Amino acid sequence: MAIFEHLSGSSAEKEGDGDMLIPFAFEETLCRDVGAGLVPPSVHLWSHPGGVAIGLRDSRLPCAGQAMQSLEARGVRTAVRHSGGAAVPLDAGVVNVSLILPKGRGTLDFHRDFRLLASLIAEAAGFSHPSAAARITAGEVKGSYCPGDYDLSIGGRKFCGIAQRRQSHAYFVHAFVVVSGSGQERGELVRRFYEEAVCGASGLDYPAVRPETIGGLGELGGPDSAAVFADGVRKAVAARGTRLATAADLAAETGYSLGYGDPRVLEAAKMLRERYAQ
């Protein structure tokens, strides 16, 4: 398995120049290459210096464009994401974990893949904070942003959500993990986005966010450092008997190379922007 890393502050992450769509475009491109057999199944660890990625359904709210512009005016980057789910804040304290896998024969069991990623995340937290990891539960947290059946929480406060994106020959399962900082502040950011995006209209379908339902792992007794959690992910994968080849290893061994500044990634970002922009 290959591992690609673009954590905030790294030279690899800086290639993206803060563009919210670059990480998603990178995964679109990598997913195609996994499906074509050019690269083995992969894990992608990344973060963004500061932004809000909204879902397709969110983008159709009556004043979504205005709400996104308000965030941008405050220095918070925005983008419409094409994977499933609703609005999520992304910053240096949120580690995104994606598994990019080739499609096998037969019907995909997305519940199995969600459970796999959920277990990896719990195991990753457990390497540094076993007592907190033992209290992690899966199940929708009412009032959280981007709620779903595979929310991960501790003591009723959500710190992780999971979504999926499929292509013809491969797919990826993606999780955002709130590691350090205030979960409630992030929840308030998303609550305010929806408040402006709905323009006072009634009968609309969007998450009714209660900020107190969100927590960072550090607040909940788990790792409070993105670096510590990312190291836990590497250890959790390796503990399953899987060798992790870094991007540098892969380039040396096979000649395969892909980065945020790759022309194919930039072209994919342009396509996503044109397809999903307001």
Q: Domains, the chain, ranges and CATH?
A: 2-276 (3.30.930.10)
Using 70 as the pLDDT threshold, list the residues of the chain that sit under it.
84, 105-108, 276-278
- What is the number of alpha carbons within 13 Å of residue 133 lying toward its C-beta? 18
Question: 42-46 and 2-6: which strand pairing?
Answer: parallel
Residues taking part in catalysis: 146
Backbone angles phi, psi at 43, to 5 degrees: -120, 140
Instruction: Determine the Cα–Cα distance for residues 45 and 69; give it in Å rounded to an integer.
Output: 28
> pLDDT tens digits, residue range 140-171?
999 999 999 999 999 999 999 998 888 889 99
Instruction: Determine the Cα–Cα distance for residues 43 and 89; give it in Å rounded to an integer.
Output: 21
Rounded to two decimals, the pTM is 0.94
